[in-house]
Chain A
Amino acid sequence: MNDVVSLLKAAQKLDEDALTAIFDQYAPAIYKYTLRLCHDPIQADNIVGDVFAQLLEQFAAGKGPRTNLRSYLYQTAYHLVVDRSRDNQHTAPLEVAVDRLDRGQLTPTQTQIEERVMMEALISAMNSELTDDQRHVIILRFLEDFSLKETADIVGKEVNNIKVIQNRGIAKLRKALGLQLEEM
């Protein structure tokens, strides 16, 4: 924790090593998060560039985060994704993950096949059943491990609102998974 604080302090003074260390530490996670939302590797990479460019501009102007750098970076990424998705509607997110699961194994076991079906059902439900807000909240809470408060800060909503969005999203996923299980 102290490392992050001292890194942040040094970065605020435009210490080049500290800024590079921040990039190394957070860029891969921001890329993954952005890819989950926008589904386009090139756009995700561009957004990573913009997130860190904005961070640098903020520090150069004597502004920027004083605490919780991770939330700040995700918040910037979130807003960039939302802004761009208004102009450019993409669909098809985490499917890449499913394709990677069986790689390296020629004959998947029955359990693996069932698991893959379940995962595809969940991913499909996340894409087609959830609203944008629900998808963002579920990703931040369960894939990025942010707290309710941090998630609320990132998407700019109240904690109670986040709880409602999360519960409704989970209810939809439960339903989708239940239907899938009935079919199996």
Chain B
Amino acid sequence: MSLETRDAEIARIFARLKVSETGYPPRLFDARRTEFKKRVSKTCLELECSIAFINLLKSKGSDNANHAC
């Protein structure tokens, strides 16, 4: 068998492999998706809290500064 034929055979097998492989089992995918969405919400909440806290500190800082004046 020539090199070209053998390479064509390899390419054909790869193409078959691509379509025949197992996909993400739906239950696993759904569970992982839900977990990721929760993680996103938690991260967003934490960031919002941090920003609010920093703003609070800043405003307290400027209040104190105003008092000093």
Q: Which of A104-161 contact B (CB under 8 A)?
A: 115, 118-119, 122-123, 142-143
Contact of B14 among A31, A41, A143 (CB under 8 A): A143
B16 and A170 contacting across the interface, CB-CB below 8 Å: no
A118 and B13 contacting across the interface, CB-CB below 8 Å: yes
- Count of inter-chain pairs, beta carbons less than 8 A: 101
Number of interface residues of A (CB under 8 A): 40
A41 and B25 contacting across the interface, CB-CB below 8 Å: yes
- B3 cross-chain contacts in A, Cβ below 8 A: 174
B22 and A181 contacting across the interface, CB-CB below 8 Å: no
Question: Contacts A14-B47, A31-B24 hold; do A53 and B10 have CB atoms under 8 A apart?
Answer: no
In the complex, A14→B6 CA distance in Å?
Answer: 48
Question: Contacts A27-B29, A174-B3 hold; do A20 and B40 have CB atoms under 8 A apart?
Answer: yes
A27 and B10 contacting across the interface, CB-CB below 8 Å: no
Question: Contacts A14-B43, A16-B41 hold; do A41 and B20 have CB atoms under 8 A apart?
Answer: no
In the complex, A181→B1 CA distance in Å?
Answer: 8
A45 and B28 contacting across the interface, CB-CB below 8 Å: yes
Number of interface residues of B (CB under 8 A): 31
Question: Contacts A118-B13, A173-B10 hold; do A32 and B24 have CB atoms under 8 A apart?
Answer: yes
B20 and A101 contacting across the interface, CB-CB below 8 Å: yes
In the complex, A6→B66 CA distance in Å?
Answer: 44
Q: Nearest chain A CB to B12's CB is how many angstroms away?
A: 8
Q: Mark B4-35, 1 if CB is under 8 A from A, else 0.
A: 00110111011011101111110011001101
- B14 cross-chain contacts in A, Cβ below 8 A: 142-143
**What residues of chain A have their CB less than 8 Å away from a CB belonging to chain B?**
14, 16, 19-20, 23-24, 27-28, 31-32, 35-36, 41, 45, 48-49, 52-53, 56-57, 60, 94, 96-98, 100-101, 115, 118-119, 122-123, 142-143, 170, 173-174, 177-178, 181
A100-B20, A101-B20, A143-B18 given; name 17 further pairs at CB < 8 Å: A16-B41, A19-B36, A20-B40, A24-B33, A28-B23, A31-B24, A41-B25, A45-B32, A52-B36, A56-B36, A56-B40, A56-B43, A57-B43, A100-B22, A119-B13, A143-B17, A174-B10
8 CB-based A-B contacts, threshold 8 Å: A14-B47, A27-B32, A27-B33, A41-B28, A45-B32, A48-B24, A49-B32, A142-B10
